[in-house]
Structure 1
Amino acid sequence: MRDLAWDGYPNARDLGGLPTPLSPTGATAFSRVARGPRRELLTDSGWAAANTWGLRTVIDLRCAYEIGRRDGDPAVSPGALNGTIVISAPTEDQSDLEFQRVCFPILDSPEYWQHNWRLQPHLVRTTFETIAAARPGMLVHCSAGRDRTGMISALLLGNAGVPPDAVADDYTRSVRAMAGSASHAPTTDRQAAWTAAEVDDWLTTATPTVRETAERAAEIFDTLGVAHPVRTRLRDLLTAP
């Protein structure tokens, strides 16, 4: 039930249905937040399926220069979005030279997340504030729906009380879904050429970082300066009836 069959759109999942003791149902709520790759991959029927799911808001984590239709993307009708609001909330400034030096070699790994928090906490904080203020029924996406989206999803789920192993499994599903796909990243994406065996090997070193991120969500929110009312709103987004 978590996988979203939106035409043209791989690696799309609802963040609902994951275990948490903070919800009266014992699981995160469906149709509140979905995660995925660049929205330009959606076809007309993909947008229609997203609208049926309840899509009302798109939170785009990419930098401005990454946004827009590319060769091979489907042409969609002007009314495909059906009133969906698109909000830009980039988690990083890729023009920053220090960010380039430290993060560009590892942008396809959760290894860079801690550097994003250290170098540009204001951007990540603003992303969470934007999500907290947005209308539920939202899609959070970056390019592959794996790294920036993985970081935001891990912290959202950790804040909502989802066990670290379940958060890591969610991240793993995105890695497997996008391995071997054409790269949409601004830098070299090693995973674009990986086989399933290479993915398995790499995940043994990557998933501990994802687990730790979920475990330390409160501490990381402190580092980012995310206000407690925002944290409560983000938690309620995934756990409240």
Structure 2
Amino acid sequence: MRDLVWDGYRNARDLGGLPTSLSATGATRFGRVARGPRRELLTETGWRDARGWGLAAVVDLRCAHEVGVRDGDPVVAPETLDAVPVVNAPTEDQDDPEFREICFPILDSPEYWRHNWRILPHLVLATLTAIADAPHGLLVHCSAGRDRTGMISALLLSNAGVAPAVVAADYAESVRAMAGVTAHAQHDRQAAWGTEEVDSWIATTAPIVEDVAADVDAAFATIGADADLRSRLRDRLTAR
């Protein structure tokens, strides 16, 4: 039920259906937030599928220079695209010298997440605020839907009371979904990976994701998110 079948769009999942004691249903709620890769991969049918799920808005985590149609992307009518509002809320400033030095070598690893919100807390705070302000039926995406989207999803799920091991399993799903896929990004070493590389990577990185999720209070403190913002983000995934 969590996997979303939107035409042309792999690695799309609803953040609902994950166990938490903070929801009356015992699980995060469906139809509130979805995660995925670059929206330009959606076909005309895929956009209809997404609207059928309840898509009402998009928060795009990419830098401005990454946004737009590329060769090979499906042709979609302008009125289809205009029907869903998009907020660009990048988590990265790729011109920041410290970010470039520390994060560029590890951008496909959750190892960079803590550095991202330490170096650029105002950007991550703006991203989380955009998510809190958006309507239900929100798609959050980056390029692959794995790294930046994985980082934000980990913060949202951990803040909603989802256990660290479950947060790490959600990250691992995206690694598996995007391995061997080249359409989402121009440079991604994981696009050439097979099962052995993926299994080895998950074994190495899952503990990193679990540590981040277990220390979510420290993450939000570094980002500068106050109690009200955290409550609004939590309610998005748990409240009636």
Q: What is aligned with 1:19?
A: 19
Once residues 227 and 218 of structure 1 are traced to their aligned partners in structure 2, the CA distance between those partners, rounded to angstroms, is: 11
How big is each residue's C-alpha offset from its partner over 1:26-74, in whole Å with a ceiling of 9 and x where there is no partner?
A: 0000000000000000000000000010000100000000000000000
Q: Secondary structure of 1:140's partner?
A: strand
Once residues 5 and 183 of structure 1 are traced to their aligned partners in structure 2, the CA distance between those partners, rounded to angstroms, is: 17
How big is each residue's C-alpha offset from its partner over 1:143-176, in whole Å with a ceiling of 9 and x where there is no partner?
A: 0000000000001000000011111111000000
Residue 40 (structure 1) aligned with residue 40 (structure 2): yes
State the AA in 2 paired with 1:41: L
Q: What is aligned with 1:153?
A: 153
State the AA in 2 paired with 1:226: A
Bigger drift between 25-34 and 212-221 goes to 212-221
Q: Is the 8 A contact 1:51 1:82 kept in 2?
A: no
How big is each residue's C-alpha offset from its partner over 1:174-220, in whole Å with a ceiling of 9 and x where there is no partner?
A: 0000011116446x422111111111011111001111111111211
Point out where structure 2 has 5 or more consecutive residues left out of the alignment.
none
State the AA in 1 paired with 2:19: P
How big is each residue's C-alpha offset from its partner over 1:102-158, in whole Å with a ceiling of 9 and x where there is no partner?
A: 111110110111110111011001100110111111000000000000000001000
The CA RMSD measured in Å over matched residues stands at: 1.1
Q: Is the 8 A contact 1:183 1:192 kept in 2?
A: no
How big is each residue's C-alpha offset from its partner over 1:74-124, in whole Å with a ceiling of 9 and x where there is no partner?
A: 000122236211000000101112211111111011011111011101100
State the AA in 2 paired with 1:142: C
Q: Secondary structure of 1:149's partner?
A: helix
Once residues 135 and 183 of structure 1 are traced to their aligned partners in structure 2, the CA distance between those partners, rounded to angstroms, is: 29
State the AA in 2 paired with 1:200: D
Q: Is the 8 A contact 1:3 1:13 kept in 2?
A: yes
Q: What is aligned with 1:143?
A: 143
Once residues 66 and 140 of structure 1 are traced to their aligned partners in structure 2, the CA distance between those partners, rounded to angstroms, is: 15
Q: How does 1:62-77 map to 2 (within 5 A)?
A: 62-77=62-77
Q: Is the 8 A contact 2:168 2:206 kept in 1?
A: yes
Q: What is aligned with 1:167?
A: 167
Q: What is aligned with 2:129?
A: 129
User: How far did 1:227 drift?
Assistant: 1.2
Q: Secondary structure of 2:190's partner?
A: helix
Q: Secondary structure of 1:80's partner?
A: helix
* TM score, norm. by length of structure 1: 0.97
Point out where structure 1 has 5 or more consecutive residues left out of the alignment.
none
Q: Secondary structure of 1:31's partner?
A: coil
Bigger drift between 106-115 and 58-67 goes to 106-115
Percent of aligned pairs with the same amino acid = 65
Bigger drift between 19-28 and 194-203 goes to 194-203
Q: What is aligned with 2:229?
A: 230
Once residues 115 and 5 of structure 1 are traced to their aligned partners in structure 2, the CA distance between those partners, rounded to angstroms, is: 33
Q: Is the 8 A contact 2:11 2:145 kept in 1?
A: yes
Once residues 88 and 219 of structure 1 are traced to their aligned partners in structure 2, the CA distance between those partners, rounded to angstroms, is: 26
Q: What is aligned with 1:31?
A: 31
State the AA in 2 paired with 1:2: R
Residue 200 (structure 1) aligned with residue 194 (structure 2): no
Once residues 6 and 28 of structure 1 are traced to their aligned partners in structure 2, the CA distance between those partners, rounded to angstroms, is: 21
State the AA in 2 paired with 1:5: V
Once residues 110 and 154 of structure 2 are traced to their aligned partners in structure 1, the CA distance between those partners, rounded to angstroms, is: 10
Once residues 96 and 225 of structure 1 are traced to their aligned partners in structure 2, the CA distance between those partners, rounded to angstroms, is: 19
Q: What is aligned with 2:51?
A: 51
Once residues 81 and 226 of structure 2 are traced to their aligned partners in structure 1, the CA distance between those partners, rounded to angstroms, is: 32
Q: Which runs of 4+ in 1 moved over 3 A?
A: 183-186
